[in-house]
Structure 1
Amino acid sequence: MRHIVHTHPRLTIAALTGLSCGIASIWVLPDTTLTQKLLIGWDLGVWLYLILMFIRTLHSSAGDVRRIALIEDENAGTILMTVSIAALASLAAIIVEIAGSKGLSPHAQLLHHAFTGITIIGSWLMIGVVFSLHYARLFYTWTGKDPALSFAGGEKNPDYWDFLYFSFTLSVAVQTSDVGVATPQMRRIVLAQSLICFVFNTAILGFSINIAASLFN
């Protein structure tokens, strides 16, 4: 546990914050359902993590990315899988919430839709960010002759923006961009992200249709 705190401090801070807020909502928001309490904790943790990672991205050079990638260990894969499962679970929780929103007043439905949107967008962004960090780790720990990812222009020292570009192209289009994928391990990770993002994009489309239908009704 101490090692994970050292190698992933921002994720640890966000996770503890989300857990604390979720527990606090039991007393602060007693009228909310258990699913809502869980989603409140998840949303606060996710958005805090996204803010912390955005700040780090702004101030990190390619050398910083390499140094951080070398510090992280095999736990990074477990963390990636855990975060992905949690993000998918948040979609399931949203489905439960939507099913229970029928019969609410227009004002309550509007708040409910806003809450749903915040959760979906946060989870979608979270997936893109954690996969970009994993791509950075695999890139800088790869010991083969050719790079694991071939960036356009022959970039040999990509920074976080380069990995975010690659990751979010997958998230949006579910296909690779102008970056070549050169190793089997990297291709497996790309496949995993593509499948997860397909589920998310399909869910976002479905939720959008549901919200539009409820507003017109």
Structure 2
Amino acid sequence: MPLLARTHPRLSAAATLGVAVGILAPADSILGKILIGWNAGVWTYLVLMLWLTMRAKAPDVKRIAEVEDENAGLVLLLVCIAALASLGTITFELAGSRDLETTRKLLRYGFTALTVIGSWLLIGVIFSVHYARLYYTWNGKEPALRFAEELKTPNYWDFLYFSFTIGVAVQTADVGVATRELRKIVLAQSLIGFVFNTAILGFSINIAAGLFG
């Protein structure tokens, strides 16, 4: 944990807050506590990353990428597993919504939307951070990612653009992928994005059926 706190301070702080909120949350079930804690941690991390993105220049991105290099693959894997698990957890929560009164049902559906959107955004952000790390720690002669305007020092906005284009459209648009390692990561994000997009469609149909069915 000290290593994670040193290399990924924002993620560590958000995770710690999420665990604390989950433990203290006045929920009726363990799943409810887990989801409340998950949302607290996820949205805290997203806010922290938004703040970092607005302030960080390319040299800052490079410095952070070098610090995060030590256990970045494991962090990416764990975050993706947790995000996918949140979809399964919210499915169980939705299963008990049909017999609730209207107000509680609307709250449950709103909480579902908050959870799914937060997890989807988390995937895009965590992959963008990973792409930044791979880009700035790559030792080849040519850049690992080739941006359309021959950009050599991209910042977080550029990596977010690349990551969320994959998440939304499952394609890399105008950014070329020049290394095998990056292609593997892009493939993984594309598959995870497909799962999330399918889940969002399914949850939307479920919520619509619950409200109007």
TM range (shorter): over 0.9
**1:201 alignment counterpart:** 197
Q: Distance in 1 between matches of 2:75 and 2:32?
A: 24
Please tell me the residue identity of whatever aligns with 2:103.
H
1:95 and 2:91 correspond:
yes
**2:105 alignment counterpart:** 109
Q: Distance in 2 between matches of 1:89 and 1:132?
A: 20
Q: What is the CA RMSD across the aligned residues, in angstroms?
A: 0.8
Deviations 1:50-82 (A, max 9, x none): 000000100000110011111122301100000
**1:11 alignment counterpart:** 11
8 Å Cα contact 2:98/2:210 also seen in 1 = no
Q: Distance in 1 between matches of 2:71 and 2:142?
A: 25
1:67 and 2:68 correspond:
no
TM-score by length of 2: 0.98
**1:190 alignment counterpart:** 186
**2:34 alignment counterpart:** 38
Q: Distance in 2 between matches of 1:70 and 1:114?
A: 39
Unpaired segments ≥5 residues, structure 1: none
Deviations 1:100-147 (A, max 9, x none): 112111111100000000000000000000000000000000001111
- Return the match for 1:161 from 157, 160, 163: 157
Shift >3 Å, 4+ stretches: none
**1:141 alignment counterpart:** 137
Give the number of aligned pairs.
213
3-state SS of paired residue (2:33): helix
Q: How does 1:170-189 map onto structure 2 within 5 Å? A: 170-189=166-185
TM-score by length of 1: 0.96
Q: Distance in 2 between matches of 1:16 and 1:214?
A: 35
TM-superposed CA distance for 1:215, in Å, is 1.2
3-state SS of paired residue (1:138): helix
Q: Distance in 1 between matches of 2:136 and 2:110?
A: 39
Please tell me the residue identity of whatever aligns with 1:80.
L
Aligned-residue identity in percent: 62
Q: Distance in 2 between matches of 1:12 and 1:153?
A: 35
3-state SS of paired residue (1:17): helix
TM-superposed CA distance for 1:191, in Å, is 0.4
Please tell me the residue identity of whatever aligns with 2:167.
S
Please tell me the residue identity of whatever aligns with 1:185.
E
Q: Distance in 1 between matches of 2:183 and 2:162?
A: 13
Q: Distance in 1 between matches of 2:4 and 2:203?
A: 35
Q: Distance in 2 between matches of 1:54 and 1:102?
A: 36
Please tell me the residue identity of whatever aligns with 1:112.
R
Unpaired segments ≥5 residues, structure 2: none
Q: Distance in 2 between matches of 1:211 and 1:102?
A: 10
Q: How does 1:50-65 map onto structure 2 within 5 Å? A: 50-65=46-61
Q: Distance in 2 between matches of 1:80 and 1:106?
A: 38
